Structure 1
C-alpha cells in the first residue's frame, strides 16, 4: 500500500520520530513522509512510534491508498526532498 504519514509531536521527540519514519518511508517535508509499505511494516512503524509519542499531546495521521498511482500529488514551490530514481 502507499501511505502518507504526518506527525505533530513535541520538540524534544522530533529527532527520534524523524529517524524512525526514515527507516520505513521517504521524507518529503517537515514531519511528512510518503512511500510504499506493507501492512506488517506499517504496524511495526506504529508500534515503535507509540513508544515515542505522548498520546495526550502528540498525533500521527496516516493517509492510505492501494497504490501511488491512485493519488494525485501537486507541489507548489520548492520540493524539500525530491524522489528521483537513478539507475
Structure 2
C-alpha cells in the first residue's frame, strides 16, 4: 500500500514524530511523508503515532492511495528529491 501522511503537531512533539516517520517513509516537505509500506507496517505506524501525539491538540491525516491511481506532479522545487542509484 502507498500512503501519504500530513501532520500538524505541537512544537514540543514534532521532532519525535518526524524522527519516527523518517524510519518508515520518505520525507517530502515540512510535515509531509510518503511511501510504500505493508499492512503490518501501517498498523505499527498508526499505533506509534497515537502514542507520540496528544489527540486533543495534534492532527495527523493519513491517505491510503492505490498504486494504480498514484500520480505525482511537482511544480517548483522538490524539497527532498529521491535519487535511485543502481
Return the alpha-carbon distance in structure 1 between the equivalents of residues 84 and 60 of structure 2: 28
Shift of 1:71: 1.4
Determine helix, strand or coil for the equivalent of 2:16: helix
1:61 is displaced (CA, Å) by: 0.5
Instruction: Tell me, yes or no, if structure 1 residue 79 matches structure 2 residue 78.
Output: yes
TM-score between both structures, scaled by the size of structure 1: 0.92
Q: Report SS of the residue matched to 2:77.
A: coil
Structure 1 runs not aligned, ≥5 long: none
Count of residue correspondences: 86
Q: What SS does the aligned partner of 1:55 have?
A: coil
Distance 2:74 2:12 in 1: 29
**Match runs of 1:24-35 below 5 Å:** 24-35=24-35
Task: Show the counterpart of 2:14.
Answer: 14
Deviation at 1:52, TM superposition (A): 1.0
Q: Where in structure 1 do 4 or more consecutive aligned residues deviate above 2 Å?
A: none
Match of 1:23 in 2: 23
TM-superposed deviation, 1:66: 2.4
Question: CA–CA distance in 1 between the matches of 2:65 and 2:36?
Answer: 9
